[in-house]
């Protein structure tokens, strides 16, 4: 009999492009039928066929406390009972701004928006308005949302300007973006030597999570900071994924490098649509209504979404929270490594805080080119083997995974045992 998931997917494709509202959900890279989820509780989700899975996607990172955490649900219900939206200031917005600035010392002023894409798009516009320059530097494999200037891939040479990586992005927009290699401090220095007076901003995922998990070389981050300071460019840390996921002060606290602007999302919404951008007062003072750089949003600071974020952020401040989360994530990676080694499978893994990367490659990659060397066919076999065994990983070889505080010892042990069985079958 046809599954309920398959029925829903066929129905969805009649009215939704590709049957999904975000491309990676379509299972195109791994094959098969997407799972349509009905409920989530703690570390588990249940699909339309009633099958339960231990979840390592966590809505792509926001659900650091697990699904439907009682305190978050209660905060959302209480806020909703008082009104879904006002399009006017609320006290909860002020509390969120104060808390974010307290947690991340690099934030002197912060503005709330509704998504990570909106945060990065606005931060880039602000950096251009502040510097009076047009050129943006980003890195191959880092994803910062789907605004035009960010959907750009590398040109044919190290210092050539980018080419659109999506239909609908004008070449004239792409020419204002320079795409370099992640973790290449020398390449960045060369770009500044040639174009420094034109560079408005450098934007980077401090820990890359959208070409799988790639750890930054400390010298790379420090070179970025030094070069931006020397040339008067704005350094933007995209912490949409890493913010409060890899540590209580984000990746900037973990690596000890201070950006000029920071973009946030995911965890700060606790599963609801919240984003933010903020940083140095003199830069943020250029945003409307204080300055000439325009940015607005009807649902920015939505009280229901902010309530979820505040409840989440307060719970993350419990003593030992991030240490426990990092320990559990390392336990998962170590167990998967041991299972692969036991059966002679070429495999590597690493974790940073509550994020992890799995690679069908002998060593963890440090660059985009090395990521492209991973065996995607092996990943697809692993993905479906684990899915069939009740363990839900990201349906792509090029996405980081996430552990939540709700994942217990038994969940991790079950996942490692399932991986052992999958590798044994190979």
Active site residue 420: no
Active site residue 148: no
Tokens of 262: 């920071």
Tokens of 120: 């990065």
Phi, psi of 6 (to 5 degrees): -65, -40
Active site residue 143: yes
Catalytic pick among 47, 182, 266, 392: 266
- In angstroms, rounded to a whole number, what is the distance separating the alpha carbons of residues 295 and 282? 17
**From the CA atom positions of the chain, what is the Rg in Å?**
21
Catalytic pick among 238, 260, 359, 392: 238
Catalytic pick among 53, 56, 143, 182: 143
Tokens of 89: 């200031």
Tokens of 313: 């952020």
- In angstroms, rounded to a whole number, what is the distance separating the alpha carbons of residues 297 and 118? 9
Q: Which residues carry out catalysis?
A: 143, 238, 266
């Amino acid at each position: 009999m046809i599954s309920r998931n398959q029925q829903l997917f066929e129905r969805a494709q009649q009215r939704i492009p590709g049957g999904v509202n975000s491309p990676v959900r379509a299972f195109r890279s791994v094959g098969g039928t997407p799972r349509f989820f009905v409920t989530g509780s703690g570390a588990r989700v249940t699909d339309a066929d009633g099958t339960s899975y231990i979840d390592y996607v966590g809505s792509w990172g926001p659900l650091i406390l697990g699904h439907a955490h009682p305190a978050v649900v209660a905060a959302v219900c209480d806020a909703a009972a008082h009104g879904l939206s006002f399009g006017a200031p609320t006290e909860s917005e002020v509390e969120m701004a104060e808390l974010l600035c307290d947690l991340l010392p690099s934030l002197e002023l912060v503005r709330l928006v509704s998504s990570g894409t909106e945060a990065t798009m606005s931060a880039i516009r602000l950096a251009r308005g502040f510097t009076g320059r047009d050129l943006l530097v980003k890195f191959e494999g880092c994803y910062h949302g789907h605004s035009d200037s960010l959907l750009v891939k590398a040109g044919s040479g190290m210092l050539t300007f980018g080419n659109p990586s999506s239909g609908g992005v004008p070449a004239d927009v792409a020419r204002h973006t320079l795409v370099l290699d992640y973790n290449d401090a020398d390449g960045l220095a060369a770009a500044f030597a040639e174009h420094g007076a034109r560079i408005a901003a450098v934007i980077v995922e401090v820990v890359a999570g959208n070409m799988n998990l790639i750890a930054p070389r400390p010298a790379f981050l420090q070179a970025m900071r030094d070069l931006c300071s020397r040339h008067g460019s704005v350094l933007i840390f995209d912490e949409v994924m890493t913010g409060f996921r890899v540590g209580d002060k984000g990746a900037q606290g973990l690596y000890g490098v201070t950006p000029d602007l920071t973009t946030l999302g995911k965890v700060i919404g606790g599963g609801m649509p919240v984003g933010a951008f903020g940083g140095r007062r003199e830069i943020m003072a250029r945003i409307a209504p204080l300055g000439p750089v325009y940015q607005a949003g009807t649902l920015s600071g939505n009280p229901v979404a902010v309530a979820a974020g505040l409840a989440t952020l307060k719970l993350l401040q419990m003593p030992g929270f991030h240490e426990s989360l990092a320990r559990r994530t390392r336990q998962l990676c170590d167990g998967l490594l041991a299972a692969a080694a036991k059966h002679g499978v070429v495999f590597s893994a690493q974790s940073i805080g509550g994020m992890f990367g799995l690679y069908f490659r002998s060593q963890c990659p440090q660059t985009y080119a090395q990521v492209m060397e991973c065996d995607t066919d092996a990943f697809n076999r692993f993905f479906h083997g684990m899915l069939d065994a009740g363990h839900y990983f990201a349906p792509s070889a090029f996405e980081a995974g996430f552990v939540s505080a709700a994942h217990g010892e038994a969940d991790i042990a079950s996942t490692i045992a399932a991986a052992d069985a999958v590798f044994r079958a190979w």
